[in-house]
Structure 1
Amino acid sequence: MNSSAPATHAAAETGAPIFTREGGPWLPDDYAAGPFRGLYGGAVAGLVAGAMEEHAVSEGWGTPLSATVLMLRPAPVAPLVTEITTLQAGRRNAVAECLLKDEAGKIISKGHAIFVKPDAMPGTRPLTAIPTATNWAGDPATLPLWANGKRPEHVNFLHILEMREERDATGKPGMRWSRMTRPLLPFASLLATLFTAADNASAFWLSSSGAWPANFGFPNVDVSVHVSRAPQGEWIGVTPDAQLHETGMGMSEGALYDRTGLVGRTCQTNILVPRG
Protein backbone atom coordinates (compact mmCIF):
# COMPACT_ATOMS: atom_id res chain seq x y z
CA MET A 1 0.00 0.00 0.00
CA ASN A 2 1.29 3.51 -0.79
CA SER A 3 2.63 5.47 2.13
CA SER A 4 3.97 8.95 2.70
CA ALA A 5 7.52 7.58 2.61
CA PRO A 6 8.48 5.76 -0.63
CA ALA A 7 9.35 2.10 -0.37
CA THR A 8 12.99 1.15 -0.85
CA HIS A 9 14.42 -1.70 -2.87
CA ALA A 10 15.73 -3.15 0.39
CA ALA A 11 12.12 -3.97 1.30
CA ALA A 12 12.17 -6.56 -1.50
CA GLU A 13 14.52 -8.67 0.60
CA THR A 14 12.05 -9.14 3.45
CA GLY A 15 9.94 -12.26 3.78
CA ALA A 16 6.70 -10.33 4.26
CA PRO A 17 3.84 -11.15 1.86
CA ILE A 18 2.97 -8.70 -0.90
CA PHE A 19 -0.71 -8.72 0.12
CA THR A 20 -1.68 -8.62 3.79
CA ARG A 21 -5.06 -8.70 5.51
CA GLU A 22 -6.03 -8.31 9.14
CA GLY A 23 -9.77 -8.86 9.37
CA GLY A 24 -10.53 -6.40 6.57
CA PRO A 25 -9.55 -5.67 2.96
CA TRP A 26 -6.38 -6.86 1.28
CA LEU A 27 -3.57 -4.31 1.53
CA PRO A 28 -1.03 -4.44 -1.33
CA ASP A 29 2.41 -3.03 -0.65
CA ASP A 30 4.33 -1.02 -3.23
CA TYR A 31 5.91 -4.14 -4.74
CA ALA A 32 2.48 -5.26 -6.02
CA ALA A 33 2.57 -2.42 -8.56
CA GLY A 34 3.12 -2.95 -12.26
CA PRO A 35 5.74 -1.15 -14.37
CA PHE A 36 3.01 1.23 -15.54
CA ARG A 37 -0.37 2.08 -13.97
CA GLY A 38 -1.97 0.04 -11.19
CA LEU A 39 -1.11 -3.42 -9.89
CA TYR A 40 0.86 -6.01 -11.85
CA GLY A 41 -1.47 -8.40 -13.71
CA GLY A 42 0.17 -11.50 -12.26
CA ALA A 43 -0.25 -10.11 -8.75
CA VAL A 44 -3.97 -9.47 -9.32
CA ALA A 45 -4.54 -12.91 -10.85
CA GLY A 46 -2.57 -14.56 -8.05
CA LEU A 47 -4.60 -12.75 -5.40
CA VAL A 48 -7.95 -13.75 -6.94
CA ALA A 49 -6.89 -17.36 -7.50
CA GLY A 50 -5.25 -17.60 -4.08
CA ALA A 51 -8.33 -16.27 -2.32
CA MET A 52 -10.41 -19.02 -3.94
CA GLU A 53 -7.84 -21.62 -2.94
CA GLU A 54 -7.90 -20.38 0.67
CA HIS A 55 -11.69 -20.84 0.65
CA ALA A 56 -11.33 -24.32 -0.87
CA VAL A 57 -8.92 -25.35 1.87
CA SER A 58 -11.35 -24.18 4.56
CA GLU A 59 -14.12 -26.22 2.90
CA GLY A 60 -11.97 -29.33 2.40
CA TRP A 61 -12.44 -29.29 -1.36
CA GLY A 62 -9.09 -30.79 -2.30
CA THR A 63 -6.64 -29.79 -5.04
CA PRO A 64 -7.14 -27.04 -7.66
CA LEU A 65 -7.57 -28.31 -11.22
CA SER A 66 -8.15 -25.10 -13.13
CA ALA A 67 -8.83 -21.41 -12.69
CA THR A 68 -9.59 -18.43 -14.93
CA VAL A 69 -9.24 -14.78 -13.98
CA LEU A 70 -10.73 -11.88 -15.97
CA MET A 71 -8.93 -8.51 -15.80
CA LEU A 72 -11.84 -6.08 -16.02
CA ARG A 73 -10.01 -2.83 -15.21
CA PRO A 74 -6.68 -1.71 -13.74
CA ALA A 75 -6.38 -2.51 -10.04
CA PRO A 76 -5.27 0.40 -7.85
CA VAL A 77 -2.43 0.16 -5.35
CA ALA A 78 -5.04 0.53 -2.62
CA PRO A 79 -7.19 -1.65 -0.32
CA LEU A 80 -9.07 -4.39 -2.18
CA VAL A 81 -11.87 -6.73 -1.16
CA THR A 82 -12.43 -10.34 -2.27
CA GLU A 83 -15.91 -11.86 -2.21
CA ILE A 84 -16.08 -15.67 -2.58
CA THR A 85 -19.19 -17.55 -3.72
CA THR A 86 -19.62 -21.33 -3.82
CA LEU A 87 -21.12 -22.20 -7.20
CA GLN A 88 -21.14 -25.97 -6.68
CA ALA A 89 -19.89 -28.37 -4.02
CA GLY A 90 -20.18 -32.09 -4.78
CA ARG A 91 -18.64 -35.25 -3.44
CA ARG A 92 -15.55 -35.07 -5.68
CA ASN A 93 -15.41 -31.59 -7.18
CA ALA A 94 -16.36 -28.04 -6.27
CA VAL A 95 -16.44 -24.67 -8.04
CA ALA A 96 -15.83 -21.24 -6.51
CA GLU A 97 -16.19 -17.72 -7.86
CA CYS A 98 -14.32 -14.64 -6.65
CA LEU A 99 -15.02 -10.94 -7.18
CA LEU A 100 -12.19 -8.51 -6.52
CA LYS A 101 -13.49 -5.03 -5.70
CA ASP A 102 -12.09 -1.68 -4.70
CA GLU A 103 -13.34 0.00 -1.55
CA ALA A 104 -16.07 1.81 -3.51
CA GLY A 105 -17.49 -1.55 -4.62
CA LYS A 106 -16.33 -1.37 -8.25
CA ILE A 107 -15.45 -4.82 -9.65
CA ILE A 108 -11.79 -4.94 -10.65
CA SER A 109 -11.43 -8.62 -11.52
CA LYS A 110 -13.46 -11.83 -11.52
CA GLY A 111 -12.35 -15.43 -11.31
CA HIS A 112 -13.61 -18.97 -10.99
CA ALA A 113 -11.77 -22.14 -10.01
CA ILE A 114 -12.45 -25.88 -9.95
CA PHE A 115 -11.20 -28.14 -7.15
CA VAL A 116 -11.22 -31.91 -6.86
CA LYS A 117 -10.67 -34.44 -4.09
CA PRO A 118 -8.14 -37.07 -5.22
CA ASP A 119 -9.51 -40.60 -5.08
CA ALA A 120 -7.62 -43.87 -5.47
CA MET A 121 -8.48 -45.80 -8.63
CA PRO A 122 -7.23 -49.40 -8.06
CA GLY A 123 -6.36 -51.31 -11.18
CA THR A 124 -6.03 -48.27 -13.44
CA ARG A 125 -2.92 -46.97 -15.15
CA PRO A 126 -2.04 -43.65 -16.81
CA LEU A 127 -3.94 -43.33 -20.09
CA THR A 128 -1.30 -41.10 -21.70
CA ALA A 129 2.44 -40.78 -21.42
CA ILE A 130 3.44 -37.72 -19.41
CA PRO A 131 6.35 -35.81 -20.99
CA THR A 132 9.37 -35.78 -18.71
CA ALA A 133 11.93 -34.32 -21.11
CA THR A 134 12.26 -31.27 -18.90
CA ASN A 135 12.88 -33.22 -15.73
CA TRP A 136 15.35 -30.63 -14.53
CA ALA A 137 18.21 -31.99 -12.50
CA GLY A 138 19.85 -28.58 -12.22
CA ASP A 139 18.93 -25.46 -10.32
CA PRO A 140 17.14 -22.73 -12.34
CA ALA A 141 18.82 -20.18 -10.07
CA THR A 142 22.09 -20.94 -11.88
CA LEU A 143 20.68 -19.90 -15.28
CA PRO A 144 21.17 -16.40 -16.72
CA LEU A 145 18.61 -13.79 -15.77
CA TRP A 146 15.92 -13.26 -18.41
CA ALA A 147 17.44 -10.72 -20.77
CA ASN A 148 14.18 -8.81 -21.24
CA GLY A 149 13.26 -8.78 -17.56
CA LYS A 150 13.98 -5.08 -17.22
CA ARG A 151 13.15 -3.59 -13.85
CA PRO A 152 12.07 0.06 -13.86
CA GLU A 153 13.57 2.29 -11.23
CA HIS A 154 10.31 2.74 -9.36
CA VAL A 155 9.38 -0.04 -6.94
CA ASN A 156 7.19 -2.67 -8.63
CA PHE A 157 6.43 -6.39 -8.90
CA LEU A 158 9.33 -7.14 -11.24
CA HIS A 159 11.74 -6.41 -8.39
CA ILE A 160 10.52 -9.44 -6.45
CA LEU A 161 9.86 -11.78 -9.41
CA GLU A 162 13.08 -13.60 -10.33
CA MET A 163 13.04 -14.70 -14.00
CA ARG A 164 15.69 -16.84 -15.68
CA GLU A 165 16.05 -18.44 -19.11
CA GLU A 166 17.55 -21.53 -20.67
CA ARG A 167 19.56 -21.12 -23.88
CA ASP A 168 20.89 -23.76 -26.26
CA ALA A 169 24.40 -23.94 -27.72
CA THR A 170 23.50 -21.36 -30.39
CA GLY A 171 22.14 -18.92 -27.84
CA LYS A 172 18.50 -19.52 -28.78
CA PRO A 173 16.24 -19.06 -25.73
CA GLY A 174 14.19 -21.97 -24.43
CA MET A 175 12.15 -22.39 -21.26
CA ARG A 176 11.71 -19.43 -18.94
CA TRP A 177 11.76 -20.04 -15.19
CA SER A 178 10.39 -17.74 -12.51
CA ARG A 179 9.86 -17.65 -8.77
CA MET A 180 8.73 -15.13 -6.21
CA THR A 181 11.44 -13.89 -3.85
CA ARG A 182 8.69 -12.86 -1.42
CA PRO A 183 5.36 -14.65 -0.85
CA LEU A 184 2.38 -13.15 -2.61
CA LEU A 185 -0.07 -14.01 0.17
CA PRO A 186 0.13 -14.73 3.92
CA PHE A 187 -0.56 -18.42 3.25
CA ALA A 188 0.72 -21.03 0.80
CA SER A 189 -1.17 -21.13 -2.51
CA LEU A 190 -0.41 -23.38 -5.48
CA LEU A 191 -2.61 -21.27 -7.75
CA ALA A 192 -0.94 -18.01 -6.76
CA THR A 193 2.46 -19.53 -7.57
CA LEU A 194 1.28 -20.71 -10.98
CA PHE A 195 -0.48 -17.47 -11.94
CA THR A 196 2.48 -15.23 -11.18
CA ALA A 197 4.49 -17.27 -13.71
CA ALA A 198 1.74 -17.92 -16.27
CA ASP A 199 0.85 -14.24 -16.62
CA ASN A 200 4.22 -13.64 -18.32
CA ALA A 201 3.67 -16.10 -21.20
CA SER A 202 3.08 -13.29 -23.73
CA ALA A 203 6.22 -11.38 -22.80
CA PHE A 204 8.28 -14.59 -22.72
CA TRP A 205 7.18 -15.52 -26.26
CA LEU A 206 7.68 -12.04 -27.70
CA SER A 207 11.20 -11.84 -26.33
CA SER A 208 12.21 -15.19 -27.84
CA SER A 209 10.48 -14.68 -31.21
CA GLY A 210 12.06 -11.33 -31.99
CA ALA A 211 8.57 -10.00 -32.69
CA TRP A 212 8.38 -7.60 -29.75
CA PRO A 213 6.08 -4.75 -30.99
CA ALA A 214 7.99 -1.58 -30.09
CA ASN A 215 5.03 0.73 -30.65
CA PHE A 216 2.32 -1.50 -29.20
CA GLY A 217 1.33 -2.89 -25.84
CA PHE A 218 -0.10 -6.39 -25.55
CA PRO A 219 -2.23 -6.55 -22.38
CA ASN A 220 -4.01 -9.80 -21.59
CA VAL A 221 -7.64 -9.44 -20.59
CA ASP A 222 -7.72 -12.85 -18.96
CA VAL A 223 -5.44 -15.69 -17.89
CA SER A 224 -6.31 -19.35 -17.35
CA VAL A 225 -4.37 -22.18 -15.76
CA HIS A 226 -5.16 -25.90 -16.04
CA VAL A 227 -3.11 -28.44 -14.10
CA SER A 228 -3.06 -32.22 -13.69
CA ARG A 229 -1.16 -32.22 -10.40
CA ALA A 230 0.19 -29.89 -7.76
CA PRO A 231 3.57 -28.31 -8.63
CA GLN A 232 6.57 -29.08 -6.46
CA GLY A 233 8.99 -26.40 -5.38
CA GLU A 234 9.09 -22.66 -5.92
CA TRP A 235 10.27 -22.57 -9.55
CA ILE A 236 7.76 -22.69 -12.44
CA GLY A 237 8.95 -23.09 -16.02
CA VAL A 238 7.03 -21.81 -19.07
CA THR A 239 7.51 -22.81 -22.71
CA PRO A 240 5.55 -20.01 -24.40
CA ASP A 241 3.79 -19.67 -27.75
CA ALA A 242 1.52 -16.99 -29.20
CA GLN A 243 -0.42 -15.84 -32.22
CA LEU A 244 -0.76 -12.05 -32.60
CA HIS A 245 -2.51 -10.58 -35.64
CA GLU A 246 -2.77 -7.26 -37.51
CA THR A 247 -6.40 -7.10 -36.43
CA GLY A 248 -5.14 -6.33 -32.92
CA MET A 249 -6.34 -9.71 -31.67
CA GLY A 250 -4.17 -12.42 -30.24
CA MET A 251 -3.69 -15.36 -27.93
CA SER A 252 -0.71 -16.59 -25.95
CA GLU A 253 -0.23 -19.91 -24.23
CA GLY A 254 2.40 -22.07 -22.63
CA ALA A 255 3.16 -25.43 -21.06
CA LEU A 256 3.88 -25.17 -17.32
CA TYR A 257 6.60 -27.24 -15.64
CA ASP A 258 8.18 -27.71 -12.27
CA ARG A 259 11.60 -29.28 -11.87
CA THR A 260 10.10 -32.81 -12.06
CA GLY A 261 8.16 -32.40 -15.31
CA LEU A 262 4.94 -31.17 -16.89
CA VAL A 263 2.37 -29.61 -14.54
CA GLY A 264 -0.23 -28.12 -16.89
CA ARG A 265 -0.95 -25.32 -19.37
CA THR A 266 -1.84 -21.66 -19.44
CA CYS A 267 -3.75 -19.61 -22.03
CA GLN A 268 -4.66 -15.93 -22.26
CA THR A 269 -6.40 -13.52 -24.61
CA ASN A 270 -4.33 -10.55 -25.79
CA ILE A 271 -5.25 -7.27 -27.45
CA LEU A 272 -2.71 -5.03 -29.16
CA VAL A 273 -2.97 -1.33 -28.28
CA PRO A 274 -0.88 1.59 -29.64
CA ARG A 275 1.58 3.15 -27.23
CA GLY A 276 2.10 6.86 -26.80
Structure 2
Amino acid sequence: MELVRGLPAGFGAGEESLAYYERSDATTFVPTIHAQGAWRTDEQHMAPVAGLMAHCLELHDPRDGMQLSRISFDILGMIPAQPTTVEVRTLRPGKSIELLEAVATIEGRPRVSARAWRLAEFASAEVAGHDLVPMPPPEDVPLWPASDMWGGGYIAGLEFRSVERRPGRSRTWLRSPTDIVADEPSTPTAHFLRLADTANGVAVRVSPHEWAFPNVDLTIHLHREPVPGWMGLDTHVTIGPKGHGLTSSVVHDEQGPVGTIEQMLTVRRSLD
Protein backbone atom coordinates (compact mmCIF):
# COMPACT_ATOMS: atom_id res chain seq x y z
CA MET A 1 0.00 0.00 0.00
CA GLU A 2 1.28 3.47 -0.88
CA LEU A 3 1.08 5.60 2.24
CA VAL A 4 1.04 9.40 2.28
CA ARG A 5 4.23 10.74 0.67
CA GLY A 6 2.93 13.42 -1.69
CA LEU A 7 1.63 16.97 -1.78
CA PRO A 8 -1.34 17.85 0.41
CA ALA A 9 -4.84 18.14 -1.02
CA GLY A 10 -7.53 20.29 0.55
CA PHE A 11 -5.56 21.65 3.51
CA GLY A 12 -5.04 25.22 4.65
CA ALA A 13 -1.48 26.51 4.80
CA GLY A 14 -1.01 26.31 8.58
CA GLU A 15 2.72 26.86 8.43
CA GLU A 16 2.57 30.33 9.97
CA SER A 17 0.34 29.39 12.92
CA LEU A 18 1.80 25.92 13.69
CA ALA A 19 -1.69 24.68 14.56
CA TYR A 20 -3.80 21.77 13.37
CA TYR A 21 -6.77 24.06 12.64
CA GLU A 22 -7.68 27.65 11.94
CA ARG A 23 -11.12 28.77 13.09
CA SER A 24 -13.32 30.23 10.33
CA ASP A 25 -16.50 30.82 12.38
CA ALA A 26 -18.10 29.85 15.69
CA THR A 27 -18.26 26.12 14.90
CA THR A 28 -16.13 25.57 11.76
CA PHE A 29 -12.39 24.88 11.53
CA VAL A 30 -10.09 24.59 8.52
CA PRO A 31 -7.49 21.78 8.82
CA THR A 32 -3.87 22.65 8.06
CA ILE A 33 -1.15 20.40 6.65
CA HIS A 34 -0.22 19.49 10.24
CA ALA A 35 -3.52 17.53 10.47
CA GLN A 36 -2.82 15.40 7.37
CA GLY A 37 -3.38 11.67 7.79
CA ALA A 38 -1.02 8.79 7.06
CA TRP A 39 -3.10 6.57 4.77
CA ARG A 40 -4.21 9.17 2.15
CA THR A 41 -3.07 12.65 1.10
CA ASP A 42 -6.61 14.06 1.19
CA GLU A 43 -7.69 12.98 4.67
CA GLN A 44 -7.26 14.24 8.23
CA HIS A 45 -5.55 12.11 10.85
CA MET A 46 -7.95 11.14 13.62
CA ALA A 47 -5.57 12.39 16.35
CA PRO A 48 -5.98 16.13 15.65
CA VAL A 49 -9.70 15.59 14.97
CA ALA A 50 -10.04 14.05 18.44
CA GLY A 51 -8.08 16.96 19.89
CA LEU A 52 -10.35 19.46 18.14
CA MET A 53 -13.48 17.73 19.44
CA ALA A 54 -12.02 17.57 22.97
CA HIS A 55 -11.24 21.30 22.68
CA CYS A 56 -14.85 22.04 21.73
CA LEU A 57 -16.18 19.80 24.51
CA GLU A 58 -14.03 21.67 27.03
CA LEU A 59 -15.38 25.03 25.76
CA HIS A 60 -19.00 23.88 26.13
CA ASP A 61 -20.60 25.28 29.29
CA PRO A 62 -17.33 25.08 31.30
CA ARG A 63 -17.55 24.85 35.08
CA ASP A 64 -14.85 24.80 37.72
CA GLY A 65 -14.35 21.50 39.49
CA MET A 66 -15.49 19.31 36.57
CA GLN A 67 -13.11 17.07 34.60
CA LEU A 68 -13.46 15.17 31.33
CA SER A 69 -12.97 11.57 32.46
CA ARG A 70 -13.98 9.52 29.45
CA ILE A 71 -14.36 10.30 25.76
CA SER A 72 -15.51 7.64 23.30
CA PHE A 73 -15.18 8.50 19.60
CA ASP A 74 -16.85 6.60 16.76
CA ILE A 75 -15.19 7.14 13.38
CA LEU A 76 -17.97 7.07 10.77
CA GLY A 77 -15.77 6.94 7.68
CA MET A 78 -12.86 8.65 5.96
CA ILE A 79 -12.29 12.17 7.32
CA PRO A 80 -11.75 14.49 4.32
CA ALA A 81 -9.31 17.38 4.45
CA GLN A 82 -12.07 19.95 4.30
CA PRO A 83 -13.59 22.52 6.69
CA THR A 84 -14.86 20.71 9.76
CA THR A 85 -17.89 21.77 11.79
CA VAL A 86 -18.06 20.64 15.43
CA GLU A 87 -21.31 20.98 17.38
CA VAL A 88 -21.63 20.10 21.07
CA ARG A 89 -24.67 19.53 23.26
CA THR A 90 -25.38 18.33 26.78
CA LEU A 91 -27.21 15.02 26.82
CA ARG A 92 -27.41 14.54 30.59
CA PRO A 93 -26.91 17.65 32.73
CA GLY A 94 -25.90 17.32 36.35
CA LYS A 95 -24.05 18.98 39.21
CA SER A 96 -21.58 16.13 39.67
CA ILE A 97 -22.04 13.87 36.61
CA GLU A 98 -22.94 14.96 33.10
CA LEU A 99 -22.79 13.51 29.60
CA LEU A 100 -21.83 15.60 26.57
CA GLU A 101 -21.99 14.81 22.86
CA ALA A 102 -19.94 16.25 19.99
CA VAL A 103 -20.36 15.63 16.26
CA ALA A 104 -17.83 16.58 13.57
CA THR A 105 -19.49 17.20 10.19
CA ILE A 106 -17.70 17.61 6.86
CA GLU A 107 -19.36 18.28 3.51
CA GLY A 108 -22.77 17.81 5.10
CA ARG A 109 -22.02 14.36 6.57
CA PRO A 110 -21.26 13.40 10.18
CA ARG A 111 -17.71 11.96 10.14
CA VAL A 112 -16.92 11.48 13.85
CA SER A 113 -19.21 11.37 16.88
CA ALA A 114 -18.11 11.50 20.51
CA ARG A 115 -19.69 11.10 23.92
CA ALA A 116 -17.89 12.39 26.99
CA TRP A 117 -18.51 11.98 30.70
CA ARG A 118 -17.62 15.06 32.72
CA LEU A 119 -17.31 14.32 36.45
CA ALA A 120 -17.04 16.51 39.52
CA GLU A 121 -13.79 16.51 41.47
CA PHE A 122 -13.79 15.23 45.06
CA ALA A 123 -10.98 14.88 47.63
CA SER A 124 -9.62 11.34 47.24
CA ALA A 125 -5.86 11.87 47.69
CA GLU A 126 -5.80 9.78 50.87
CA VAL A 127 -6.86 6.65 48.92
CA ALA A 128 -5.15 7.43 45.58
CA GLY A 129 -2.94 4.70 44.13
CA HIS A 130 -2.32 2.31 41.24
CA ASP A 131 -0.47 -0.87 40.36
CA LEU A 132 0.60 0.15 36.83
CA VAL A 133 4.16 -0.22 35.56
CA PRO A 134 5.93 3.16 35.16
CA MET A 135 7.48 4.25 31.87
CA PRO A 136 11.20 5.03 31.66
CA PRO A 137 11.66 8.82 31.41
CA PRO A 138 11.75 10.21 27.85
CA GLU A 139 15.35 11.38 28.14
CA ASP A 140 16.43 7.75 28.75
CA VAL A 141 14.64 6.43 25.64
CA PRO A 142 16.20 6.45 22.13
CA LEU A 143 14.69 8.38 19.25
CA TRP A 144 12.45 6.42 16.87
CA PRO A 145 12.14 7.61 13.23
CA ALA A 146 8.40 6.99 12.83
CA SER A 147 8.37 8.86 9.51
CA ASP A 148 10.34 5.95 8.03
CA MET A 149 7.15 3.90 8.47
CA TRP A 150 4.39 6.51 8.33
CA GLY A 151 3.87 9.52 6.08
CA GLY A 152 1.67 12.59 6.29
CA GLY A 153 1.87 16.02 7.87
CA TYR A 154 0.62 14.95 11.30
CA ILE A 155 3.28 12.27 11.86
CA ALA A 156 5.99 14.55 10.43
CA GLY A 157 5.30 17.04 13.24
CA LEU A 158 5.90 14.58 16.09
CA GLU A 159 8.98 13.57 18.04
CA PHE A 160 9.06 9.89 19.04
CA ARG A 161 11.18 7.94 21.53
CA SER A 162 10.60 4.21 21.79
CA VAL A 163 11.82 1.04 23.56
CA GLU A 164 10.75 -2.62 23.74
CA ARG A 165 9.98 -2.45 20.04
CA ARG A 166 8.76 -5.69 18.51
CA PRO A 167 5.68 -6.57 16.42
CA GLY A 168 2.60 -5.68 18.44
CA ARG A 169 4.48 -4.22 21.41
CA SER A 170 6.22 -0.95 22.29
CA ARG A 171 6.69 1.63 25.01
CA THR A 172 6.76 4.98 23.23
CA TRP A 173 6.96 8.65 24.19
CA LEU A 174 5.76 11.32 21.76
CA ARG A 175 5.26 15.06 21.76
CA SER A 176 4.39 17.87 19.37
CA PRO A 177 4.76 21.67 19.42
CA THR A 178 1.54 22.05 17.39
CA ASP A 179 -1.52 23.70 18.95
CA ILE A 180 -5.06 22.50 18.30
CA VAL A 181 -6.55 25.78 17.04
CA ALA A 182 -4.48 28.78 16.01
CA ASP A 183 -4.42 31.58 18.58
CA GLU A 184 -6.64 29.68 21.03
CA PRO A 185 -5.43 28.22 24.33
CA SER A 186 -6.61 24.71 25.10
CA THR A 187 -7.02 22.94 28.42
CA PRO A 188 -4.32 20.47 29.55
CA THR A 189 -6.73 17.60 28.84
CA ALA A 190 -7.58 18.66 25.28
CA HIS A 191 -3.93 19.45 24.55
CA PHE A 192 -2.95 15.97 25.76
CA LEU A 193 -5.74 14.14 23.91
CA ARG A 194 -4.72 15.65 20.55
CA LEU A 195 -2.06 12.89 20.41
CA ALA A 196 -4.07 9.92 21.71
CA ASP A 197 -5.05 8.31 18.40
CA THR A 198 -1.35 7.94 17.51
CA ALA A 199 -1.39 4.81 19.71
CA ASN A 200 -2.50 2.68 16.74
CA GLY A 201 0.74 3.43 14.88
CA VAL A 202 3.43 2.94 17.52
CA ALA A 203 3.41 -0.86 17.94
CA VAL A 204 2.27 -2.23 14.59
CA ARG A 205 2.07 -6.01 14.33
CA VAL A 206 2.16 -6.04 10.50
CA SER A 207 3.57 -3.69 7.85
CA PRO A 208 1.24 -0.79 6.97
CA HIS A 209 2.61 -1.07 3.42
CA GLU A 210 1.08 -4.57 3.11
CA TRP A 211 -1.87 -4.45 5.49
CA ALA A 212 -4.51 -1.86 6.37
CA PHE A 213 -5.61 -1.74 10.00
CA PRO A 214 -7.47 1.54 10.63
CA ASN A 215 -9.29 1.93 13.91
CA VAL A 216 -13.04 2.46 13.86
CA ASP A 217 -13.18 3.97 17.33
CA LEU A 218 -11.08 5.60 20.03
CA THR A 219 -11.96 5.43 23.73
CA ILE A 220 -9.95 7.23 26.39
CA HIS A 221 -10.45 6.87 30.15
CA LEU A 222 -8.61 9.29 32.46
CA HIS A 223 -8.27 8.89 36.23
CA ARG A 224 -6.66 12.33 36.63
CA GLU A 225 -5.99 15.44 34.61
CA PRO A 226 -2.84 15.02 32.48
CA VAL A 227 -0.05 17.58 32.39
CA PRO A 228 1.20 19.07 29.09
CA GLY A 229 4.36 17.76 27.48
CA TRP A 230 5.25 14.19 26.60
CA MET A 231 2.62 11.46 26.16
CA GLY A 232 3.74 7.92 27.00
CA LEU A 233 2.06 4.91 25.37
CA ASP A 234 2.58 1.43 26.83
CA THR A 235 0.96 -0.40 23.93
CA HIS A 236 -0.05 -3.94 22.91
CA VAL A 237 -1.65 -4.82 19.57
CA THR A 238 -3.73 -7.97 19.08
CA ILE A 239 -5.00 -9.28 15.73
CA GLY A 240 -7.61 -12.01 15.51
CA PRO A 241 -8.08 -14.60 12.71
CA LYS A 242 -11.02 -12.95 10.91
CA GLY A 243 -10.01 -9.35 10.26
CA HIS A 244 -10.47 -7.78 13.69
CA GLY A 245 -7.83 -6.30 15.97
CA LEU A 246 -7.38 -4.28 19.14
CA THR A 247 -4.80 -1.69 20.14
CA SER A 248 -4.64 -1.30 23.93
CA SER A 249 -2.51 1.29 25.70
CA VAL A 250 -1.86 2.52 29.19
CA VAL A 251 -1.28 6.23 28.69
CA HIS A 252 1.22 8.25 30.75
CA ASP A 253 2.42 11.79 31.21
CA GLU A 254 5.75 12.65 32.83
CA GLN A 255 4.19 12.28 36.28
CA GLY A 256 3.00 8.70 35.70
CA PRO A 257 0.00 6.82 34.31
CA VAL A 258 -3.14 8.84 33.63
CA GLY A 259 -5.51 6.35 32.00
CA THR A 260 -6.09 3.94 29.13
CA ILE A 261 -6.74 4.04 25.38
CA GLU A 262 -8.60 1.36 23.40
CA GLN A 263 -8.97 1.19 19.60
CA MET A 264 -10.91 -1.43 17.63
CA LEU A 265 -9.29 -2.27 14.27
CA THR A 266 -10.53 -3.58 10.96
CA VAL A 267 -7.64 -5.61 9.46
CA ARG A 268 -7.24 -6.57 5.80
CA ARG A 269 -4.59 -6.90 3.15
CA SER A 270 -4.04 -3.59 1.40
CA LEU A 271 -5.38 -4.86 -1.95
CA ASP A 272 -8.59 -6.31 -0.42
Aligned length: 257
1:213/1:83 CA distance change after superposition, 3 Å: closer
Instruction: Quote the residue 1:263 is aligned against.
Output: 258
1:213/1:101 CA distance change after superposition, 3 Å: closer
Structure 1 residue 113 displacement after superposition: 0.7
For 1:86-125, list aligned pairs within 5 A.
Answer: 86-102=90-106, 104-120=107-123, 125=126
1:81/1:118 CA distance change after superposition, 3 Å: same
Given the alignment, which residue of 51, 54, 61 partners 2:56? 51
Instruction: Quote the residue 1:130 is aligned against.
Output: 130
For 1:129-208, list aligned pairs within 5 A.
Answer: 129-131=129-131, 133-134=133-134, 138=137, 140=138, 143-150=141-148, 156-166=153-163, 174-185=170-181, 186-206=184-204
For 1:230-245, list aligned pairs within 5 A.
Answer: 230-245=225-240
Given the alignment, which residue of 9, 34, 52 partners 1:31? 34
Structure 1 residue 253 displacement after superposition: 0.8
Q: Which ranges of 4 or more aligned residues in structure 1 deviate by more than 4 Å?
A: 2-8
Structure 1 residue 200 displacement after superposition: 2.4
1:19/1:151 CA distance change after superposition, 3 Å: farther
Structure 2 residue identity aligned to 1:246: P
Taking structure 2 as the reference length, the TM-score comes to 0.82
Alignment check: 8 A CA contact 1:49 1:69 kept:
no
Alignment check: 8 A CA contact 1:144 1:166 kept:
yes
Give a deviation string over 1:140-167, Cα, whole Å, max 9, x none: 25633224443767x6111212221135
Structure 1 residue 269 displacement after superposition: 0.6
What is the rounded CA distance, in whole Å, between the counterparts of 1:132 and 1:106 in structure 2? 40
Secondary structure, aligned partner of 1:199:
helix
Secondary structure, aligned partner of 1:44:
helix
Structure 2 residue identity aligned to 1:247: K
Unaligned runs of 5+ in 2: 1-7
1:180/1:226 CA distance change after superposition, 3 Å: same
Secondary structure, aligned partner of 2:78:
coil
1:36/1:3 CA distance change after superposition, 3 Å: closer
Secondary structure, aligned partner of 2:115:
strand
Given the alignment, which residue of 226, 236, 245 partners 1:250? 245
What is the rounded CA distance, in whole Å, between the counterparts of 1:132 and 1:243 in structure 2? 20
What is the rounded CA distance, in whole Å, between the counterparts of 1:48 and 1:126 in structure 2? 32
Is 1:218 aligned with 2:213? yes
What is the rounded CA distance, in whole Å, between the counterparts of 1:272 and 1:142 in structure 2? 34
Secondary structure, aligned partner of 2:195:
helix
What is the rounded CA distance, in whole Å, between the counterparts of 1:4 and 1:220 in structure 2? 23
What is the rounded CA distance, in whole Å, between the counterparts of 2:213 and 2:135 in structure 1? 31
Given the alignment, which residue of 80, 83, 107 partners 1:79? 83
Structure 1 residue identity aligned to 2:178: R
Taking structure 1 as the reference length, the TM-score comes to 0.81
Root-mean-square deviation (CA, aligned residues, Å) is 3.0
Q: Which has the higher strand share?
A: 2
Alignment check: 8 A CA contact 2:244 2:266 kept:
yes
